[in-house]
Amino acid sequence: MSTSRVDPHLPAVHLRPPRNWINDPNGLVFHDGHYHVFFQYNPHGPQHANVHWGHFRSPDLINWEQLPVALAPTPGGEDADGCYSGNAISVDGRLVAFYSANRTGRWWQPVTTAESQDGGHTWTKRPELLVPQPPADTTMYRDPYVWRQDGRWRMLVGSALADGRAAAQLYESHDLEHWSYRGPFHTSSPAATADPSGWECPQYATFGDRGVLVVSDWTPQKGPRRTLVITGREVHGRFTADAPPVPLDHGPDFYAPALLKSPEEGRWLLWGWAWEARDDAWAQESGWAGVLTLPRELTLADDGTVAQRPARELLALRGERVLHRTGHVTRSQPAELGQVSRTFDLTATLTPDPSGAGGLRLLTSADGTEFLDISLDPVAGHLTVDRSHASLDPRARPGRYTLPCPTAEVPGAPVELRVIVDRSIAEVHLASGQALTLRMYPVGDGPWRLLAHTTGTGRSDFAVEAWELSTGGTHPEPLLAGRGQNA
């Protein structure tokens, strides 16, 4: 099914093919001068089926080239019903992809590999499974993540345990071929067994002697739920948490993020999957579903706080500055700030009135009845993103979501935020490193414009700048001539 070139909701600067289904980012790796981003992909339609690995690469995180499909199911093979999630490494001039081999009726997804000698253009699958069986007492098993540490190769695999806990299972190898099972690297709390869960897509980043474990929380009843981040230290092959898990992203439409260790020392990048927040029938009509977030930099502060910020390279996407306003508003005198395009990058410094909530409103219909609200609540100490009126089409999901913002509670303290909107996706970042991702589907008659407002009895100050975003050098057409089916 094709999609219109003028689809107003198809993102312009976020990675995805122009049609069909995508979900998890996979195989993030820097190899031979290029960043490689693979992703779960159905080249035949906008639904989760026929799972392949799609493939983009870039020398600079700005100009992207879509390469042929990397991995495709082998009829009758161990991955006959899908090449599911995993990661990739660069070693000895070659790319090695580790992935989950899916077959209908097999509850676990064994780990297997494929290898490319030509920078990801063609791939050869291994003749047999790498890890054919899950550990005992598991009820879900998938999504390998491989990295090198202290002269050895290590692998985490997501799982659910028979006692109801979620776990990231640890394996180790000296040659990438022979893997020894070391036991659970980390598990969820036994207190959570009343609601059994599993962890998908485990990811692990090291910062000196500390580590950051990212897991995607899943339940057999409800499926994907949220992404959690856990900080701590490893002791004798076990990860000990410093604090309970917290959400990595506070929005409703963020899941299955993947990490990439960039060539710069100590720098970690992250992409996530933003699923659709509209009726399936609408996505089917449009011919596409799912998008990857923009790349983010992941850092770990001395106090153990994990922060995310848009990758510094994204500043190169900024084109014309379309808005630059400073001033203040009161309840009776909101301020029209000006027009923005459907794809823009905004920075704002807001000093809220302590007596009420206030912030920015993105108006997407001429009469102002369709809008996205981003507001600070100095009493509750959080930032709220409300999409309850963000689409006049009832097939779009509503909702009101918050992320912690203690600075808002301090009278007179300015709050800095950055908002990147790309047609149907908004990524909101606080200067503290908290993030919130959501999807929205405006259908109003525009043009889009910004409004500053407050509900307080005093005044709220603002300073806002916005830039149009260009698409860089993205090659949007899928190149499916090579299907990566070598076995």
The predicted pLDDT at position 195 comes to 75
Indicate if the pLDDT at residue 454 is higher than 90.
yes
pTM for the model = 0.95
Cβ–Cβ under 8 Å, residues 188 and 216:
no
Compute φ and ψ for 191, nearest 5 degrees. -65, -20
pLDDT, one tens digit per residue, over 379-422 is 999 999 999 999 999 999 999 999 999 999 999 999 999 999 99
Nearest to 86 by CA among 120, 53, 131: 53
Rounded CA separation 105/282 (Å):
30
Q: Tell me the β-bridge partners of 380.
A: none
Average pLDDT, the chain: 94
pLDDT, one tens digit per residue, over 279-299 is 999 999 999 999 999 999 999
Q: How confident is the model at residue 6 (pLDDT cuts 50, 70, 90)?
A: confident
Rounded CA separation 343/424 (Å):
9
pLDDT, one tens digit per residue, over 302-344 is 999 999 999 999 999 999 999 999 999 999 999 999 999 999 9
In the numeric block, the tokens 């609200």 are attached to 373
pLDDT, one tens digit per residue, over 258-273 is 999 999 988 999 999 9
The torsion defined by the Cα of 455, 456, 462 and 466, in degrees rounded to 10, comes to -10
Question: Are β-strands 318-330 and 459-469 bridged in parallel, bridged antiparallel, or unpaired?
Answer: antiparallel
**E strands, 250-357, in order:** 255-261, 268-274, 288-289, 291-292, 296-300, 306-310, 318-330, 335-339, 343-351
My answer on whether omega of the bond before 447 falls inside 30° of 0, hence cis, is yes
Rounded CA separation 307/299 (Å):
5
Rounded CA separation 111/186 (Å):
19
Cβ–Cβ under 8 Å, residues 484 and 328:
no
Nearest to 255 by CA among 22, 19, 14, 98: 22
Q: How confident is the model at residue 5 (pLDDT cuts 50, 70, 90)?
A: low
Q: How confident is the model at residue 482 (pLDDT cuts 50, 70, 90)?
A: very low
The predicted pLDDT at position 473 comes to 58
Residues in the chain, overall count: 487
Q: How confident is the model at residue 485 (pLDDT cuts 50, 70, 90)?
A: very low
Q: Which long-range contacts (CB under 8 A, 24 or more apart) does 49-55 make?
A: 49/21, 50/82, 51/82, 51/83, 51/84, 51/102, 52/83, 52/483, 52/484, 53/26, 53/27, 53/83, 53/97, 53/99, 53/484, 54/17, 54/22, 54/478, 55/120
* Rg of the chain, C-alpha, whole Å: 23
Average pLDDT, integer, range 118-143? 98
The predicted pLDDT at position 67 comes to 97
Indicate if the pLDDT at residue 160 is higher than 90.
yes
Indicate if the pLDDT at residue 4 is higher than 90.
no
pLDDT, one tens digit per residue, over 197-236 is 999 999 999 999 999 999 999 998 899 999 999 999 999 9
More confident residue, 446 or 70: 70
Indicate if the pLDDT at residue 1 is higher than 50.
no
End-to-end CA distance of the chain: 28
Average pLDDT, integer, range 441-464? 96
Rounded CA separation 105/126 (Å):
22
SS3 for 394-425 is CCECCCEEEEECHHHHCCCCCEEEEEEEECCE
Nearest to 138 by CA among 81, 97, 187: 187
Nearest to 455 by CA among 360, 372, 332: 332
Rounded CA separation 141/296 (Å):
28
